[in-house]
Structure 1
Amino acid sequence: MGGIRDGYPKLLPLLAGLLFAGLLAGCGPDAGEASRRHEPSQVLADNQAHLTSSINRYGPSVRIRSKTPWRIAFLMKNFAWASPYWRRTHEGAESGSKEMGTFVRVLGVDRFAIEQQIKQVDALIAEGRTDGIIIAPLDSNRLSPVVEKAVASGIPVLVYDTPLNADHILTFVGFDNFGAGRLLGRWMVEQLGGKGNLLILEGPPGNQNALDRRNGMIAGLSEGDINVLSMGTANWQRHQAEAITAEWLQRFQQVDAIMAADDVMALGAADAIAKAGRHNILVTGFDANADALLAIRTGRLHATIAQAPKQQARRAVQLMVRHLQSGVLFPPALLYDSIHLITSENVADYQ
């Protein structure tokens, strides 16, 4: 039976066989490259077939036009100019605003500025001019009191992107991070032929999205005989991911793949691999940012997940408008589960 193993890879004393294989290969791919799949991915094909057969998996397809120019505040985790993901979120919120005839005020904060986000919510409550709040909380616990304060003051709150441990929120709109991580893990098992040595770059400790992605990856990898050499957090930072990967590459002689919980860290891993002169290491990310898609085209990265922030943000605005217009209530969570796996086979469709 397959499964994830922890520890160092075993060295096989087959020097004569390796020398013979090298002579046969000449200048061709090395042994690891030769063992990898080059035919079309069945995991990718199954994923695309699932997307094609799924109809209206995420809410109604009807367009909504607001009867009142509601004033909605959309609080993001970062500024649009500072993050490709939040730039696309901003675009989705604005497109939803124009389409539905309502007013959406998009607010960003400095990276990890939890207190700044708390003050934003307090300011909206004090102003008394906001009909609804959509918030992507920087912390799943520390934002809870101020969000509950907003709800108590009569402002409905919809939580976006990251779960929040708060009572009486309208709903949570997010992505199926666990399912997406599992899909990436299954793809990796396929690409490695069922076995290999792998490293995982995680997001910030305690971040629910990061945990779900990592746990999903591990679930997918468990379908093969994968040796997870180490896991480390790079806090969504490229330079931290590069430093961690550089240390890993010095410590481990045989590395077949590195899976990162977002594209930024994946690119940091690719930077370290290039500087170390190592080859034949698969690298996956998450988010489908433009620079990651280009890196897949050039072979620096090998797979990512399209998280569809524009569609999710538009949907969040739509739900808030529906609630403000008719008082309709929603399930506690509405996960966006149209998971798009992107590899060199289909990356051109997403650029």
Structure 2
Amino acid sequence: MHGVLRGLVVMGALLLMAAFAQNKVIMGVSIPAADHGWTAGIVYWANQTKGELEKKYPGIQVIVKTAKDASEQANQIQDLVTVNKINTLVILPYESAPLTKPVAAAKAKGVFVTVVDRGLTDPNAQDAYVAGDNPGLGRVSAEYMAKQLGGKGNIVILRGIPTVIDNQRYDAFMEVMKKYPGIKVLDQKYANWNRDDGFKVMQDFLTRFKQIDAVWAQDDDIAVGVLKAIDEAKRTDIKFVLGGAGMKEMIKKVMDGDKLITADVTYPPRMIQDAMMLTAEARVTGKPMKTPTIIPSVLVTKENAKEYYFPDSPF
């Protein structure tokens, strides 16, 4: 009898081990290379999370790949599927259109796909979607600016790159501004989420407009250029500059009570961590993953800035 029981226990253990081997999660994480502050943050958090996941779920394998452009990323996805034999893919596409087909091909081979931030042109190419709240970023920014200005004043807007993301932010911002006829938008221009372009666009605004009360830079990299332009022009009319995304230098300025950077709005590169964690949990437990998962945009002020300050992050 004991021998039979022992045999059953051993058999049960072997079946469990076989099931685990069959269900072993091999996760490919495909992200753009660190070509500016925000993507540097994405790369940092992806690598941090790889270590955390491998510790939390022994047996899981996480492979992080960075790409300098869309075609390199497409080739890497193919390698991840054919060479690394991944069964799970978490991808932040370099661009939406060129990555849709390669991702759809991976999904067709049975790979579970979570897309992060930049949506694909065909949502059927993914199983789950994790992103920041772009309309929320615009709305929170507009509400803060209107309140700080007491509902009246002249503002200028520096936008990102002509994309769906930028349109969502800008449209939500302008929707709030309709409630404040006393606030005049003098002009809005694209600054490509770039410091140098932020500097050039702001120089143009400063030359053309003698009275600017506040600046919506939408992005912390742009805001760095804006601050430089204001400083060089020695302008004192501007009450504050509002960026976004939660760059550590900007959060530190908010903490320290900087005169121009009085607040920030989050759009955290840490969303890659949320995407990887949620995907791994769904794959290991077999429970369906909630989609879409939208990470809220939060207003950062001196009161709560400490919670959003990560000095070790590159962003």
Q: TM-score range by the shorter chain?
A: 0.7 to 0.9
Contact 1:181 1:213 in 2 (8 A): yes
Name the aligned partner's letter for residue 99 of structure 1.
K
CA distance change for structure 1 residues 327 and 168 in 2, over 3 Å: closer, same or farther?
farther
Distance in 2 between residues matched to 1:98 and 1:306, nearest whole Å? 28
Provide the residue aligned with 2:213 in structure 1: 256
DSSP 3-state at the match of 1:158: strand
Larger mean Cα displacement after TM superposition, 245-254 or 126-135: 126-135
Of the three residues 126, 132, 152, the one matched with 2:88 is 132
Change (3 A) 1:319 1:187: same
Task: Please give the per-residue CA displacement for 1:62-120, whole angstroms capped at 9, x wherever unaligned.
Answer: xxxxx66522111122339964432453234543443333222222223xx22222222
Q: Return closer, same or farther for 1:93/1:301 CA change in 2, 3 Å cut-off.
A: farther
Query: Relative to structure 2, which stretch is displaced further, 67-76 or 197-206?
Result: 67-76
* 1:222-276 deviations in Å (ceiling 9; x for gaps): 3312211111111111011101100110011111111122110011111111111
Counterpart for residue 109 of structure 1: 67
Name stretches of at least 5 consecutive residues in structure 2 with no aligned partner. 1-19, 310-315
Letter in 2 for 1:118: A
- Which of residues 150, 156, 159 is equivalent to 2:112? 156
Alpha-carbon shift at residue 343 of structure 1 (Å):
2.4
- Which of 255, 263, 273 aligns to 2:230? It is 273
Residues 24-58 of structure 1 deviation map (CA, whole Å, 9 limit, x = unaligned): xxxxxxxxxxxxxxxxxxxxxxxxxxxxxxxxxxx
Q: What is aligned with 1:317?
A: 276
| Matching residue's letter, 1:265 | I
Map of 1:2-13 to 2, 5 A cutoff?
A: none
Equivalent residue for 1:175?
132
In the TM superposition, residue 294 of structure 1 has moved relative to its aligned partner by 2.5
Partner of 2:121: 165
Deviations 1:205-229 (A, max 9, x none): 12x3222222222223233122111
Q: Matches of 1:97 and 1:305 in 2, distance apart?
A: 32
Cα distance in 1, alignment partners of residues 171 and 49 from structure 2 = 28
Bigger relative contact order, structure 1 or 2, given CA contacts below 8 A and separation 6+?
Answer: 1
The aligned runs of 1:329-344 (5 Å cut-off) are 329-337=288-296, 339-344=297-302
Map 1:169-208 onto structure 2 (within 5 A): 169-206=126-163, 208=164
**Helix, strand or coil at the partner of 1:159:** strand
What count of residue pairs does the alignment treat as equivalent?
280
Equivalent pair of 1:79/1:107 in contact (CA under 8 Å):
no
Q: Deviations over 1:303-344 (max 9, x none)?
A: 21223433x33332233224433544345412122x321123
Residue type at the aligned position of 1:316: A
Partner of residue 75, structure 2: 119
SS in 2 for 1:243: helix
- Structure 1 residues 263 and 155: CA distance shift in structure 2, 3 A: same
Q: Secondary structure at the match of 1:86?
A: helix
Larger fraction in helix: 2
The AA in structure 2 aligned to 1:106 is V
Partner in structure 2 of residue 217 of structure 1: 173
Within 1, Cα distance between the matches of 2:33 and 2:156? 28
Q: Which amino acid aligns with 2:305?
A: V
The root-mean-square deviation of aligned C-alpha atoms, in Å, is 2.3
Gapped regions of structure 1 (runs ≥ 5)? 1-66
TM-score, normalization by structure 2: 0.81
Aligned equivalent of 2:308:
350
1:301 to 223, 238, 261: 261
What is aligned with 1:31? none
Indicate the SS of the match to 1:76: strand
CA contact (8 A) 1:96 1:314 kept: no
2:262 and 2:301 in contact (8 A); partners too: yes
